[in-house]
Amino acid sequence: EVQLVESGGGLAHDGGSLRLSCAASGLSFDDYAIGWFRQAPGKEREVVSCVSSGDGTPYYADSVKGRFTISSDHAKNTVYLQMNSLKPEDTAVYHCAAELFKCSDWPKVTGYLEVLGQGTLVTVSS
């Protein structure tokens, strides 16, 4: 059974930084695309960043390019999202995801991304 546990959210000021972590179990990063999507009240679900197994080129939403960085530690089965220069519009619940289909497809099928964890709330104050 695949389990994902997100952590690291919290309150940040405009321009601040946070680092999210996602501890995965029941899967191998060698087989899955992994990444993050977010859901803000009243807004569409948005894929923030992801990376496919065997393909080191990550995807970033235009809204976070240059500010967020995805990374992973395969030995720890953990994926991270370093978020810098945070903006109030980054406020959302952030979910970690692991899917067998490639990362490049994630933005086309955001509704199919499976919610396996509780997510972690990021609040950015202006």
Predicted local distance difference test score (pLDDT) of residue 116 = 84
Can you give the three-state secondary structure of 2-55, one letter per residue?
CEEEEECCEEEECCCCEEEEEEEECCCCCCCEEEEEEECCCCCCEEEEEECCCC
d(CA 119, CA 97): 10
The answer to whether residue 70 scores a pLDDT higher than 90 is yes
Q: Give the model confidence (pLDDT) of 81-114 as tens digits.
A: 999 999 999 999 999 999 998 999 999 998 888 8
| 77 Rama sector, left if φ>0, alpha if ψ -120 to 50, beta otherwise | left
For the chain, what percent of residues have pLDDT higher than 90?
Answer: 77
Average pLDDT over residues 68-90: 95
Bridge partner list, 23: 5, 78
